């Protein structure tokens, strides 16, 4: 084949068409497993953050979405025959050192934090990523307490929350995500979620 502009453009067009078709096929093949993995991660986080006991509803079926500062916060109420026993809240913040991260925050019916699970982050390994460790200082500062009775800032700024060493930005962002979760439940309760 003679090297001409027409042949080069045609060759490039064919290569682009084959490549884009391959990318599209890979997307179609992986779309389902990715969605399933994400759903499993959410279900797993719900079981870790909701209060223990007899929950008779499917919190994922009863979820409600709240928009705070152009960010979606998803509230999963957990109920039994007596009413609401707790809430799991998928919250996020854009204030992380490496951008946005997501938490699942669990509250009991008294609005005390049961547990917090990190769902997604891109924080620095060995520093900010420690927020996902079991019993990290941030989690210990919140567990069993109600945000209503806390000063929601790090101790160096006069607050009640211990910061991860050398990760103040991540710690402040974590606090922001927890506060958003708390505010979302309060806004729904004012709107009639029981």
Q: What mean pLDDT value characterizes the chain? A: 87
pTM of the model: 0.78
Tell me: pLDDT of 48 over 80.
yes
Average pLDDT over residues 129-141: 85
Tell me: pLDDT of 44 over 80.
no
Average pLDDT over residues 74-93: 91
Average pLDDT over residues 3-32: 91
Residue 191: which pLDDT band, with cuts at 50, 70 and 90? low
Average pLDDT over residues 10-32: 92
DSSP secondary structure string, the chain? ----HHHHHHHHHHHHHHHHHHHHHHHHHHHHHHHHHHHHHHHHHHHHHSPSS---S-TTTT-EEEEETTEEEEEEEEEETTEEEEEEEEEEEEEETTEEEEEEEEEETTS-EEEEEEEE--PPTTTGGGGGSTT-HHHHHHTT--GGGS--SBGGGT-SBPPPTT-HHHHHHHHHHHHHHHHHHHHHHHTT--
Tell me: pLDDT of 167 over 70.
yes
Average pLDDT over residues 37-55: 80
- Identify the pLDDT of residue 159: 87
């Amino acid at each position: 084949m003679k090297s001409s502009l027409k042949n080069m453009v045609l060759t490039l067009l064919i290569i682009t068409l084959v490549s884009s078709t391959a990318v599209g096929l890979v997307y179609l093949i992986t779309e389902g497993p990715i969605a399933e993995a994400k759903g499993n991660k959410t279900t797993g986080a719900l079981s870790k953050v909701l209060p223990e006991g007899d929950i008779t509803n499917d919190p994922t079926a009863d979820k409600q979405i709240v928009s705070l500062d152009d960010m979606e916060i998803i509230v999963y109420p957990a109920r039994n025959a007596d009413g609401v026993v707790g809430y799991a809240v998928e919250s996020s913040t854009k204030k992380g050192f490496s951008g946005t991260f997501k938490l699942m925050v669990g509250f009991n019916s008294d609005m005390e934090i049961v547990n917090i699970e990190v769902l997604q982050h891109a924080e620095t390994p060995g520093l900010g990523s420690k927020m996902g460790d079991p019993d990290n200082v941030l989690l210990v500062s919140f567990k069993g307490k109600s945000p209503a009775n806390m000063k929601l800032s790090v101790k160096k700024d006069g607050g009640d929350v211990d910061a991860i060493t050398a990760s103040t930005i991540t710690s402040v962002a974590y606090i922001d995500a927890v506060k958003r979760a708390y505010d979302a439940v309060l806004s729904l309760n004012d709107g009639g979620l029981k």
